[in-house]
Every structure is written in C-alpha cells, then in structure tokens.
C-alpha cells in the first residue's frame, strides 16, 4: 500500500449490475463451513508470515523496498523526536508525532527501535472509483433499507456532533439544511495560515459560503467544501439528513462537521489524510465532536501498526472519540479488513443486507493478520438510499446515472454506507445516555452498541459480523 483511498460502494470489480446469488445465511453453519478450507489455508500462510515478523519495527510496514540502499521517504509515528535535518514535515497529535522524513536504510533500523510505526509508501495516491458502483438485485428501488436500524422514534442524535472526513458535502441540499455545523477544506489555506473553515452563523450563511466557493473554483478549479464526487454527501445524508425530500438519516437531529480531504475522483494522498486527522485532533473540543466517521481505507498490513491506525487509536484513547471506519470491500475473504478500520480502538464496520439478513458478498472479513477479531459491527450496506449532490453534478452521477433514485437521492452499496449507519446509531445513544445523566464516553457508547445489536452469530463476536447490527431502541 502507500496510499489512502475512500472505501466506496463498488462491491464488485465487474462492470454492470450484479445479480442476486444464493448465499447461505450467516446464521447457518454451512455459511462458515463453505469457506473453512480457504480459511485454514490462509491461517497457515499467515502463521508463516508472522514467524518472519518477529522484528515488528523493521519488517512489513516499511514496504518491499524499504531496506534497499539509498534514502527514501518514510512516515514515522513516534513519541520521540527525529533528527531535524531529515524531517520534511511533521503532524502533531499531542505527545504523538508523525514525521515525514528522508531516511537511509541504516537510519530506518535505528529509528524503528523506538518508533510506534514506520511506513514507506509505494505510490502517492489512487482512486477506487475506477470500478463502478454496484446496484444489487436488479436495480435501485424506493425501500429505505437503512431505517431497519431504527426501532423507535426516540433518540434522533439531537445536538450530537459527528465529524465526517470525506469528499465534502452539498451543504445546499434541502435534506441537509440545518445539519451542517462547520465546513473544513484541506485544499485551501486561509490568510491566517489555517485550513479554510466556514462556521455556519459565524462566518455567514451557507449561501455566502457558496459565493466564496464559486470564486475559488473559478480561479483554481477546485472546490473547497462542495462535494463534486458524491460520496461525502451520501455518507452525510445517511447520518443526518433531515428528510425534507424523503429518506431521512438515522440521526436526523445530529450536527455535522464535514472535512473535505478527498478530491473529485475520490482520492487523497497520505499527507492530506494526516492533515485532516490533525485538524480533528486540534478542534474536537472546539466543535464538541463525539463521533468520527471514516468511510475510506486502504488494504495492507492490518496489524494496526501503520501511522494512520496508530493516530486513530491515540485519538480514541486521548480524546474519547468514537471512531467508526469502513471495513473494506475486498470480498468475503479472511484477513482483508482495511486500514484504519484495523486499529484497535476503531469500530470496523462490515456491510450486510437487512432484507436478506446476510452479510454482503463484497464485505471484508477479519481477523487481522495478528489474529484480532475484526470486524466489530455490521450496518446496512446494500442499495442504501441517501442524498446526492444537487448544486453541482457529481462524478458518481455523471459516470453511473443508473444509481440515481430521484432528483435528490441515489442508491449506493458498500461498507462506506454501512459505517455511517453505525455512526448514526451511536449518535442516537449519545443523546440517550446524556438524557439519563450518563456521560457518553467511548466505553459507554461501545457497550450501548453491543447491548442493542442483533447478533448474526448467536455464539458471540466473530470475524464476519462482529457483535452484529446495532439498533436504535427506546
């Protein structure tokens, strides 16, 4: 790996629509036994791999050419300083720092002895939108499948702030009026040296934000906050759509802080992802952020020792953030949970189809290669209807018009859609716990999700469905 990509709802690498297949229910033993041989073979292979990874600091995370002679760019997550002459850039998360540094092979060996993570990228960025989004079972329909998670009209997530790092948001969409608290751009720096931020009611109205943004786009060709891809608007709508034109979100009372870090094609280099996470670190208290939704990821060494996973764990521990991350769309194959969903304190979310009560065929499986049980939960992730950009034509709508449901909505599939379902359920319980005078800490929210989940495996947490699918209950 070496790039950070949005986890999109593609589900299948083949072009065209995907037909429904008869897959054994995850409730049946046949569902697991049908893949037992492949799992055993993979376990044997991983055992051999782990035997070679006794020196965690040097192997695997560095990339296949990491210890070749000469200097290369490395990302180092550490609590200790690096020699200033070798540092290109640094991101600060309190005591934890992530350095971008030029290191020789022998320096890597020295640094890795005390670093929490060392990583050398193989390529700067990639877009996962090269493969189409997939509409399952013959096409989109009007069923609002995400509402399966809601079993009561109470607890809308009122007043709970959810941060979404994604492709931006169409903040002028009628369903999202009143949902947006702040907009943040990783593409523009203000005159004060900070990332361009628009706080609703402080900097002005959203219409005034759009006036500024049109000027920026006319000059530089890049939107600051507006979602010209479509993914971020869809994810945000799953969480907090007010439902003015239909299909409300699961937490229609929640407020959104949307950080645009991914471009029109759905790509972002590692540097920009770290910048976005650093912004969240510095502004969690300022905006009262309780939940962080990451509907993106990258395949790779998923022991949780890469810099981004280390940062996610640190943020969850030190800030008390509930970080919800898409598990990935690598198919029902063991050991394919993405980074940073593999982080120890991140909630890795797989996708399932509530209409069939089975795991989606594209959803990544655990465990991690160090044999931790991931995924943690599953959410509705097949033909999920939510908002699409209406202020500008999105990349997704332009390239895949078959996904459009109506003027304001489209249907997408993927663990990218499942993750915000869980984020929204968590927002509802954050409101519920606060009403009961219980502080909605990381542990309290996790316990609420576990206690209110429908178990797809009655024997307990597993690497396919985790603790199950959480529900909003009274």
As a whole number, mean pLDDT of residues 227-247 equals 97
In this prediction, residue 301 has a pLDDT band, given cuts at 50, 70 and 90, of confident
Q: Within 10 A of 414 (CB to CB), how many other CB atoms are there?
A: 29
Q: Which pTM was predicted?
A: 0.85
Condensed to tens digits (0 to 9), the pLDDT of residues 74-96 reads 999 999 998 888 899 999 999 99
pLDDT for 299 equals 86
Q: 3-state DSSP call for residue 92?
A: strand
Q: Does 308 score more than 50 pLDDT?
A: yes
Cβ-in-10-Å burial (0-12, 13-18, 19+) of 64 comes to exposed
pLDDT for 173 equals 98
As a whole number, mean pLDDT of residues 334-342 equals 94
Question: How long a stretch of residues is the chain?
Answer: 474
As a whole number, mean pLDDT of residues 174-201 equals 95
Q: Does 262 score more than 80 pLDDT?
A: yes
Alpha-carbon distance 206 to 183, whole Å?
Answer: 10
Half-sphere exposure of 236 (CA within 13 A, CB side): 38
User: Percentage of the chain with pLDDT > 90?
Assistant: 69
As a whole number, mean pLDDT of residues 185-213 equals 95
In this prediction, residue 460 has a pLDDT band, given cuts at 50, 70 and 90, of confident
Q: Does 140 score more than 90 pLDDT?
A: no
C-alpha angle 204/210/213, rounded to 5°?
Answer: 110
pLDDT for 123 equals 52
The helix, strand and coil proportions of the chain, stated in percent and rounded to the nearest 5, come to 30, 25, 50
Q: In what helix (H) or strand (E) does residue 236 lie, and over which residues does it extend?
A: helix 231-240
Which of the residue ranges 47-51, 180-184, 223-227, 398-402 would you say has the lowest mean pLDDT?
47-51
Find residue 1's DSSP bridge partners: none
pLDDT for 24 equals 43
In this prediction, residue 30 has a pLDDT band, given cuts at 50, 70 and 90, of very low
Condensed to tens digits (0 to 9), the pLDDT of residues 388-402 reads 999 999 999 999 999
Q: Select from 1, 62, 97, 5 the least CA-distant residue to 296.
A: 5
- Does 51 or 336 have the greater pLDDT score? 336
In this prediction, residue 9 has a pLDDT band, given cuts at 50, 70 and 90, of very low
In this prediction, residue 153 has a pLDDT band, given cuts at 50, 70 and 90, of confident
Mean pLDDT of the chain: 84
pLDDT for 319 equals 96
Among 49-53, 56-60, 266-270, which range has the highest average pLDDT? 266-270
């Amino acid at each position: 790996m070496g790039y950070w990509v949005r986890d999109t709802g593609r589900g299948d690498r083949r072009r065209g629509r995907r037909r429904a297949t008869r897959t054994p229910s995850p409730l049946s033993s046949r569902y697991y036994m049908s893949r037992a041989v492949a799992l055993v073979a993979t376990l044997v292979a991983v055992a051999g791999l782990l035997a070679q990874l006794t020196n965690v600091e040097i192997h695997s995370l560095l990339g296949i050419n990491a210890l070749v002679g000469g200097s290369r760019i490395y990302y180092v997550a550490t609590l200790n300083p690096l020699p200033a002459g070798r540092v290109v850039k640094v991101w600060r998360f309190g005591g934890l720092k992530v350095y971008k540094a030029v290191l020789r092979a022998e320096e890597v060996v020295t640094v890795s002895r005390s670093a929490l993570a060392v990583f050398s990228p193989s390529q700067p960025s990639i877009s996962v939108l090269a493969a189409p989004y997939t509409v399952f079972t013959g096409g989109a329909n009007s069923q609002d499948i995400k509402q399966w998670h809601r079993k009561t009209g109470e607890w809308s997530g009122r007043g709970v702030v959810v941060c979404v790092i994604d492709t931006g948001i169409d903040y002028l969409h009628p369903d999202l009026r009143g949902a947006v608290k702040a907009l943040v751009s990783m593409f523009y720096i203000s005159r004060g040296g900070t990332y361009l931020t628009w706080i609703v009611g402080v900097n002005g109205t959203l219409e005034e934000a759009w006036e500024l943004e049109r000027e920026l786009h006319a000059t530089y060709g890049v939107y600051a906050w507006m979602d010209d891809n479509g993914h971020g608007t869809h994810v945000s709508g799953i969480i907090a759509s007010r439902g003015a034109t239909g299909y409300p979100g699961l937490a229609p009372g929640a407020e959104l802080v949307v950080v645009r870090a991914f471009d029109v094609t759905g790509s972002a280099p590692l540097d920009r992802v770290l910048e976005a996470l650093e912004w969240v670190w510095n502004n969690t208290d300022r905006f009262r952020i309780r939940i962080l939704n990451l509907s993106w990821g990258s395949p790779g060494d998923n022991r949780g020792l890469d810099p981004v996973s280390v940062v996610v764990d640190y943020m969850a521990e030190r800030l008390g953030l509930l970080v919800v991350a898409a598990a990935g769309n690598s198919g029902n194959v063991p050991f394919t949970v993405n980074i940073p969903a593999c982080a120890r304190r991140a909630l890795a979310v797989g996708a399932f189809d509530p209409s069939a009560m089975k795991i989606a065929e594209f959803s990544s499986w655990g465990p991690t290669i160090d044999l931790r049980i991931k995924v943690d939960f599953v959410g509705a992730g097949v033909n999920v209807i939510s908002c699409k950009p209406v202020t500008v034509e999105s990349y997704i709508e332009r390239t895949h018009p078959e996904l459009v449901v109506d003027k304001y909505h489209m249907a997408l599939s993927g663990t990218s859609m499942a993750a915000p379902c869980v984020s929204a359920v968590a927002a509802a319980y954050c409101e519920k716990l606060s009403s009961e005078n219980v502080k909605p800490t990381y542990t309290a929210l996790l316990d609420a999700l576990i206690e209110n989940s429908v178990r797809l495996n009655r024997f307990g947490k597993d690497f396919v469905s985790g603790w199950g699918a959480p529900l909003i209950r009274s």
